[in-house]
């Protein structure tokens, strides 16, 4: 079987199985060119995902099959990490399976909202587009409502990575998700930075836990592929105030589909989709349900 130019990939776990099921359904509905879709989960969650996603086009694989491709990373050490860290490492290592030249890295709480083809992610020459901008859309709004910590965090994180790669200049955002990642860029990071410094992506993520910045800054530094910039592919609601603003402006999925291929709602706002049941104590669950009923987050 020939290698695909791009595949769709989601790293998930049992708590998000219903969200992943929803994502898979949206892919089956809108995937016009039948781009392969892979979901990786811990080995202990395989049967659960097969039960929920069995009727979809998703190919379910073990996280462990990804990690074992790199002898520099210990699965035992991965298992000791917080989920936010371990998932970044697994996602950053998916390229080693060699299933495609690039992959669209999706979160479980993503959904597609309009038809899509390969051309949404790669050029006619099969060069992946790169999500990159200066995050003005969210920074402008954050500034207007006094959320200065959003700006402080963005510039602090950007400066950290500029120092790592000895780059001066503008502060870039290489997100939000989903992200189009090229194997060649990850390979260049491995050969040009990780190996010379005798570290692995495990060590890199622990030192600076933002996988999209590792990818983006490596692309700018080592130029493994041409930079074909694009704006965010999905509408991402990072904060409750963003969602509230759109709800009041009556901006729904039909309106968003004119600009975006999909949408991402934060998992914390959709606890009814937690598996096996909505998380939190009784009072917090009631409060969330009341806010949802009133049209609030």
Query: Domains of the chain, with CATH numbers?
Result: 4-131+175-234 (3.90.550.10)
Q: Residue 229: is its pLDDT beyond 60?
A: yes
The mean pLDDT of 162-178, rounded to a whole number, is: 96
What confidence tens digit (pLDDT) does each residue in 136-162 have? Answer: 888 887 888 888 898 999 999 999 999
pLDDT for the residue numbered 245: 84
The gap between the terminal CA atoms of the chain, to the nearest Å, is 46
Is 90 exceeded by the pLDDT of residue 271?
Answer: no
pLDDT at 138: 82
Residue 283 has pLDDT above 70, yes or no: no
Judge whether residue 210 has pLDDT over 90.
Answer: yes
pLDDT at 296 over 70: no
Say if residue 294's pLDDT is above 70.
Answer: no
The predicted structure's pLDDT at residue 144: 82
Confidence of residue 285 (pLDDT cuts 50, 70, 90): very low
What integer is the mean pLDDT of 86-95?
98
Residue 65 near residue 86 (C-beta atoms within 8 A) = no
Contact, 30 vs 115, CB < 8 A?
yes
| Chain mean pLDDT for the chain | 90
pLDDT class for 40, splitting at 50, 70, 90?
Answer: very high
Q: What is the rounded average pLDDT of the residues 243-250? A: 88
Please tell me whether the overall predicted TM-score, pTM, comes out greater than 0.85 for this model.
Answer: yes
Using CA atoms, how far apart are residues 51 and 71, in angstroms rounded to an integer? 31
Ramachandran region, residue 178 (left: φ > 0; alpha: ψ -120 to 50; beta: rest) = beta
CB atoms within 10 A of CB 231: 11
- pLDDT (0 to 100) of residue 282: 43
Q: How confident is the model at residue 284 (pLDDT cuts 50, 70, 90)?
A: very low
Mean pLDDT of 188-217: 98
43, 63 in Cβ contact below 8 A?
yes
pLDDT bucket at 293, cuts 50 / 70 / 90: very low
Q: DSSP letter at 192?
A: I
How many helices and strands, by DSSP H and E, does the chain display? 13, 10
**What's the length of the chain?**
297
């Amino acid at each position: 079987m020939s290698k695909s130019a791009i595949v769709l990939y989601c790293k998930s776990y049992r708590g998000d199985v219903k969200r992943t099921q929803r994502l898979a359904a949206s892919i089956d509905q809108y995937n016009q060119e039948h781009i392969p879709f892979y979901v990786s989960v811990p080995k202990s969650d395989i049967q659960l995902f097969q039960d929920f996603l069995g009727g979809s086009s998703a190919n379910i694989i073990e996280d462990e099959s990804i990690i074992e491709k790199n002898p520099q990373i210990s699965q035992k050490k991965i298992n000791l990490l917080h989920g936010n860290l371990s998932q970044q490492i697994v996602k950053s290592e998916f390229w080693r399976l060699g299933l495609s030249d690039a992959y669209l890295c999706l979160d479980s709480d993503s959904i597609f909202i309009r038809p899509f083809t390969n051309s949404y992610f790669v050029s006619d020459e099969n060069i992946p587009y790169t999500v990159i901008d200066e995050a003005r859309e969210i920074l402008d709004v954050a500034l207007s409502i006094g959320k200065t910590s959003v700006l402080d965090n963005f510039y602090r994180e950007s400066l950290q990575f500029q120092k790592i790669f000895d780059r001066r200049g503008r502060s870039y955002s290489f997100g939000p998700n989903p992200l189009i990642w090229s194997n060649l860029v990850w390979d260049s990071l491995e050969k040009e930075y990780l190996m010379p410094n005798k570290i692995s992506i495990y060590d890199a993520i622990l030192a600076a836990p933002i996988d999209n910045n590792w990818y983006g800054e490596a692309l700018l530094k080592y130029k493994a592929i041409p930079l074909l910039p694009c704006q965010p592919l999905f509408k991402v609601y990072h904060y409750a105030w963003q969602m509230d603003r759109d709800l009041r402006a009556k901006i729904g999925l039909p309106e968003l589909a004119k600009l975006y291929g999909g949408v991402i709602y934060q998992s914390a706002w959709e606890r009814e989709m937690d598996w096996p049941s909505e998380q939190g104590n009784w009072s917090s669950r009631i409060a969330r349900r009341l806010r949802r009923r009133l049209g609030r987050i």
